[in-house]
Amino acid sequence: MPWDRNQMAARAAQELEDGMYVNLGIGIPTLVSNYIPEGITVTLQSENGMLGMGPFPYEGEEDPDLINAGKQTITELPHTAYFDSATSFGMIRGGKIAMAILGAMEVAENGDLANWMIPGKLVKGMGGAMDLVAGVGRVIVVMDHTNKHGDSKVLKACTLPLTGTGVVNQIITNLGVLDVVEGGLKIVELADGVTEDDMRAATEATIL
Amino acid sequence: MRKVYGSASEALDGLLSDDMLIAAGGFGLCGIPELLIAAIRDSGVQNLTVASNNAGVDDFGLGVLLQSRQVKKMLSSYVGENAEFMRQYLSGELELEFNPQGTLAERMRAGGAGIPGFYTQTGVGTQIAEGKEHKEFDGKTYILERGIFADLAIVKAWKADETGNAIFRKSARNFNPPAAMCGKVCVMEVEEIVPAGSLDPDLIHLPGIYVHRLIQGEHEKRIEQRTVRQRESA
């Protein structure tokens, strides 16, 4: 059985290390915070100006002045700090954030990432994604391996406008885990019941 | 020298003109200058260029200036929550310059700090880099981005003293300080104006030098995505 959204998030959480400052993107990456391994402390950054992001509030305790980058109401923790957007991206661009876990529309075998627009169809914008992939230490993409038509999202070259070039270090999909290495992708792990042949068949990119 | 005004329209009196560039604070609907936006709508000023991370939603925040067709161009990083924005953009009625979020924030900060341009790695190799100067530093490629010098900044803070020394609350700070800094004139709306001396000078987030006019008012503070968790049963 390929992994579901929660299993993908749980697998991504295994990449976290104690003491890390981490930025989680919108969608499946947000779920990673539910699976932080015991004994490990990570501090979540929200690029709208917060370190130390807490869980969603209890009903009735929502605060319009306290949201995450996905505009969801959240809470603060004892070690939370707030700052403005210029400072926030200063720490991102300045390499202070150890890891970003992001969603994607397409990833290429050379680490190129596309996740911000579909020309003529979807105009949302890159938000902070371009800054994150340019600045953080390690970029992990978590996404479904194929789109709803069954086409591979793990490609030889991206077809959509890029978010960054050569920026992705690891890809976690419903089929398993791939590392971006010299010359292509390397299988690190397969989801339960997924064979190497299944992985290769669903992947357009070069698997070494 | 009086900075405190009685209403948003009074505070904007004499500052608005067609074709001007306005920098606005806020992220999503959090920390937006909602009273000043409403007063700009009522003023009828036209052909605005607005630098703001988002464009509000259809009927709140900067979305109201899109509804009223007063905006010619937006400089933004993310406009996904606004259907009217998407419609006007795809039909060619509205110009849009996408800026990576950190680049937009730094462009405002730089403008306010007297820096006309800076180099950043953000966007290298993407559409954003097209037509921009590329330069190598220590083996890495960077692109030149320009500081933003806005004709007017509109921002929202939590509390300010009557000289404009301001404190923001939680994540409502966001783009407000850099937006305030990059305006030739900055008008700020707050939830409470307090007498000078009642805020701790060590805890001021934005010094009053950046704030030229100030109003106090009631804020709706709409929540865009209300998300909650269940209480564990006792």
To the nearest whole Å, the CA of A83 is away from the closest chain B CA by 7
Residue positions of A annotated with a catalytic role: 47
Residue from the list A56, A88, A126 with its beta carbon closest to the beta carbon of B100: A126
Task: Note whether A75 contacts B: Cβ–Cβ < 8 A.
Answer: no
Predicted confidence (pLDDT) at residue B47 exceeds the cutoff of 70: yes
Parallel, antiparallel or unpaired: strands A138-142 and A170-173: parallel
If pLDDT is split at 50, 70 and 90, which confidence band does B80 have? confident
> Under 8 Å CB-to-CB from B132, ≥6 apart: which residues?
B143, B144, B145
CATH node for B8-216: 3.40.1080.10
A residues 158-177 near B, CB within 8 Å? 161-166
Q: How far apart are CA A39 and CA A30, in angstroms?
A: 20
Task: Note whether A106 contacts B: Cβ–Cβ < 8 A.
Answer: no
Predicted confidence (pLDDT) at residue B232 exceeds the cutoff of 80: no
* % of chain B at pLDDT higher than 90: 91
Predicted confidence (pLDDT) at residue A193 exceeds the cutoff of 80: yes
pLDDT given at position B234 = 53
Task: Note whether A35 contacts B: Cβ–Cβ < 8 A.
Answer: no
Can you give the residue ranges of every domain in chain B? 8-216
Predicted confidence (pLDDT) at residue B1 exceeds the cutoff of 80: no
pLDDT given at position B198 = 96
**In this structure, what DSSP letter does residue B175 have?**
T
Predicted confidence (pLDDT) at residue B98 exceeds the cutoff of 80: yes
Task: Note whether B149 contacts A: Cβ–Cβ < 8 A.
Answer: no
For B101: left if phi > 0, alpha if psi spans -120 to 50, otherwise beta; the answer is: alpha
Residue from the list B29, B105, B231 with its beta carbon closest to the beta carbon of A89: B105
If pLDDT is split at 50, 70 and 90, which confidence band does A119 have? confident
* % of chain B at pLDDT higher than 70: 99
Apex A155 CA angle, A151 and A156, nearest 5: 140
**In this structure, what DSSP letter does residue B210 have?**
G
Q: How do residues B144-168 score in pLDDT, each as one tens digit?
A: 999 999 999 999 999 999 999 999 9
Instruction: Write the single-letter amino acid at B209.
Output: I
Predicted confidence (pLDDT) at residue B139 exceeds the cutoff of 80: yes
Give the pTM.
Answer: 0.96
The arithmetic mean of pLDDT across residues B164-177, rounded, is: 98
Among B5, B14, B2, B60, CA closest to B33: B60
The arithmetic mean of pLDDT across residues A2-9, rounded, is: 96
pLDDT given at position B136 = 98
What's the whole-number average pLDDT of chain A? 96
Predicted confidence (pLDDT) at residue B233 exceeds the cutoff of 70: no
What are the chain A neighbours of B55 within 8 Å (beta carbons)?
none
Exposure letters A33-45 (e unless 16+ CB within 10 A, then b): bebbeeeeebbbb
Mutate to test the interface with B, among A131, A133, A167, A168 (most CBs of B within 10 A): A131
Exposure letters B151-186 (e unless 16+ CB within 10 A, then b): bbbbbbbbbbbbbbbbbbbbbbbbbbbbbbbbbeeb
Residue from the list B174, B222, B227 with its beta carbon closest to the beta carbon of A49: B174
Handedness of CA B111, B115, B120, B124 (dihedral sign): positive
The arithmetic mean of pLDDT across residues B57-83, rounded, is: 93
